[in-house]
C-alpha cells in the first residue's frame, strides 16, 4: 500500500484557535494587541535573550538586522554560500557586498577556518546560518568577529531550540533572526523575529520596523528616518504564542524521528547521515542525508523521483549562492567545493511536527527497496 508522506505539516492542536478567536472577538487583528508583546517576551525568554522584535517573515528579520546594525553600500558581509538565498538577498537589499565562504563537512555550516581570509577593511559583519537545525561552531566565529571588531548575525530560521554548548542559538551573537514559516518547528503561518541582548539595538529595530516612527511620540506622525512596514499581526503572534507553548514537544518529535531514521538508514551503503557534534543539540528541522551515487546505486535526484512513486515528498538541499542565476556573474570563477559537494548529494526527507513513527519506517523501507532494486 502506498502512503502519502508530506515533507512537513504543522501541528495546530494547541490553543491556536482559542487565541485567534480572542483576537477576532476583541477586534485586535492587526499589529496592535497583547499577543505581539507576549510572543516577543516569551520567545526571547525561551532563547535566553533579553529582547525580541516580531516581524512579518524571516527574510525581513535578516534585512532588519542588517539595517539595525547600520550596514550599507560601503560594507561587506561574509555569509556561507551553502544556504537559502534569502541570506544573500538581505545583504543586497542594503547595497552591501556579499562575501562568500565555504562550508565544513563536519557540520555542513560555514567553516570558521575559511572566514578570516575573507575579512577586509570593509567587512562589517559575519552572518552565520545554523543549517537544517545544527548549530555552527560559534566559539571560533565569535572570536574571529571580536578580534576584527565585527558584528555576528545568527540566521537561526531553521534552528528553533537548537543548542551550542548548552546555549540556544540565536542568542549568542549580536542579533539572531528566526522564521516562523509553516514548515518551521514553530509557525505563525508567515512571520519572523529578531532577538538580541542589546537594548539599543532592540529599540532601533523596533523603530525601523514601524516606519521609523518617533517612539517617544514628541509629535504625532513624526518619523525619525526611512523605515519599513515589517510588523507582525496580533493574529500571527497569537498562533506563535500557542505554538511556543508546545515547542519542546515539537523538538522532541524531531529528535526522536531523527534517531529512528538514523537507526534504519545507518547501514545502507552510500548514505551519509546528518551530523550532530558532541557540543551540539541538533533539532533536525529537516532530516537530511547525503547520497553517494557510486555506493548507493543511483543519484540523489533519481532517488527523489523514485520516492515520489512511493508517495514520499522530498526536497533537494539548498543550491549554493555562487551558482544561483542572480549571483552567477557576481561570483564567476569562484569555487566552493564543500558547498557544491553537499548541494549535489543532499536531500531533505519528511520531517514535520506531525510525522509519525510509522511514516518514518515507511520512508526508510522505501529507500531500502529502491537501493536493492538498483543494486540487484
Q: What is the residue-wise DSSP string for 13-57?
A: -SSHHHHHHHHHHHT--SS-SHHHHHHHHHHHHHHT-SEEEEES-
pLDDT at 217: 64
Report the side by side order of strands in the sheet with 271-272: 271-272, 288-291, 346-348, 315-316
How many CB atoms are closer than 10 A to CB 248? 11
3-state helix, strand and coil shares in percent for the chain, rounded to the nearest 5: 40, 15, 45
pLDDT tens track for 133-184: 999 999 999 999 999 999 999 999 999 999 999 999 999 999 999 999 999 9
Cα 75 to Cα 126: distance, rounded to the nearest angstrom: 11
Nine-digit cell string for 236: 500571527
Note the maximum CA span of the chain: 77
> In the CATH scheme, what is the code of domain 16-244?
3.40.640.10
Packed helices 234-244 and 34-47: angle between N→C axes, nearest 10 degrees:
40
Cα 300 to Cα 296: distance, rounded to the nearest angstrom: 9
Nine-digit cell string for 69: 546594525
pLDDT at 86: 98
Q: Could you tell me if 185 and 285 are in contact, meaning their C-beta atoms sit under 8 angstroms apart? A: yes
pLDDT tens track for 65-91: 999 999 999 999 999 999 999 999 999
Contacts of 69 (CB under 8 A, 6+ apart): 124, 125, 151, 153, 174, 175, 201
Residue positions counted in the chain:
376
DSSP 101: E
Residues of the chain with CATH 3.90.1150.10: 247-375
Q: Could you tell me if 227 and 209 are in contact, meaning their C-beta atoms sit under 8 angstroms apart? A: yes
Cα 30 to Cα 53: distance, rounded to the nearest angstrom: 16
pLDDT at 224: 85
Q: Could you tell me if 155 and 133 are in contact, meaning their C-beta atoms sit under 8 angstroms apart? A: no
Nine-digit cell string for 139: 566559539
What is the CATH class of 247-375? alpha beta
Cα 231 to Cα 32: distance, rounded to the nearest angstrom: 9
Positions of the chain with pLDDT lower than 50, given as ranges: none
The helix (H) or strand (E) run that includes residue 347 is strand 346-348
Q: Could you tell me if 139 and 131 are in contact, meaning their C-beta atoms sit under 8 angstroms apart? A: no
List phi, psi (to 5°) of 218: -65, -35
Contacts of 14 (CB under 8 A, 6+ apart): 242, 243, 245, 246
Amino acid at each position: 500500500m502506498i502512503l502519502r508522506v508530506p515533507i512537513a505539516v504543522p501541528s495546530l492542536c494547541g490553543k491556536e484557535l482559542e487565541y485567534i478567536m480572542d483576537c477576532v472577538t476583541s477586534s485586535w487583528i492587526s499589529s496592535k494587541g497583547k499577543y505581539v508583546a507576549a510572543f516577543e517576551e516569551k520567545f526571547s525568554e525561551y532563547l535566553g535573550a533579553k529582547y525580541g522584535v516580531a516581524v512579518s517573515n524571516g527574510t525581513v528579520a535578516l534585512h532588519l538586522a542588517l539595517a539595525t546594525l547600520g550596514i550599507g553600500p560601503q560594507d561587506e558581509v561574509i555569509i556561507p554560500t551553502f544556504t537559502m538565498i534569502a541570506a544573500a538577498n538581505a545583504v543586497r537589499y542594503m547595497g552591501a557586498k556579499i562575501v562568500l565562504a565555504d562550508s565544513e563537512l563536519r557540520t555542513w555550516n560555514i567553516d570558521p577556518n575559511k572566514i578570516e581570509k575573507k575579512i577586509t577593511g570593509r567587512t562589517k559583519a559575519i552572518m552565520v546560518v545554523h543549517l537544517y537545525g545544527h548549530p555552527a561552531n560559534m566559539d571560533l566565529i565569535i572570536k574571529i568577529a571580536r578580534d576584527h571588531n565585527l558584528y555576528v548575525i545568527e540566521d537561526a530560521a531553521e534552528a528553533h531550540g537548537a543548542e551550542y554548548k548548552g546555549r540556544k542559538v540565536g542568542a549568542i551573537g549580536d542579533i539572531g533572526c528566526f522564521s516562523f514559516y509553516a514548515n518551521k518547528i514553530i509557525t505563525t503561518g508567515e512571520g519572523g523575529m529578531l532577538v538580541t541582548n542589546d537594548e539599543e539595538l532592540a529599540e532601533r529595530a523596533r523603530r525601523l520596523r514601524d516606519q521609523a516612527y518617533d517612539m517617544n511620540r514628541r509629535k504625532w506622525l513624526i518619523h525619525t528616518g526611512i523605515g519599513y512596514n515589517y510588523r507582525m499581526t496580533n493574529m500571527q503572534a497569537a498562533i506563535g504564542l500557542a505554538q511556543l507553548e508546545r515547542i519542546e514537544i515539537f523538538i522532541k518529535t524531531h529528535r526522536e524521528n531523527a534517531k529512528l531514521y538514523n537507526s534504519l538508514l545507518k547501514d545502507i551503503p552510500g548514505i551519509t547521515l546528518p551530523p550532530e557534534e558532541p557540543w551540539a543539540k541538533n533539532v533536525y528541522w529537516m532530516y537530511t542525508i547525503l547520497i553517494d551515487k557510486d555506493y548507493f546505486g543511483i543519484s540523489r535526484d533519481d532517488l527523489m523521483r523514485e520516492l515520489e512513486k512511493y508517495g514520499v515528498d522530498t526536497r533537494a538541499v539548498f543550491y549554493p549562492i555562487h551558482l544561483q542565476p542572480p549571483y552567477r556573474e557576481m561570483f564567476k570563477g569562484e569555487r566552493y567545493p564543500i558547498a557544491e559537494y553537499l548541494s549535489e548529494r543532499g536531500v531533505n526527507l519528511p520531517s514535520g511536527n506531525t510525522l509519525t513513527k510509522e511514516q518514518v519506517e515507511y520512508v526508510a523501507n522505501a529507500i531500502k527497496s529502491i537501493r536493492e532494486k538498483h543494486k540487484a
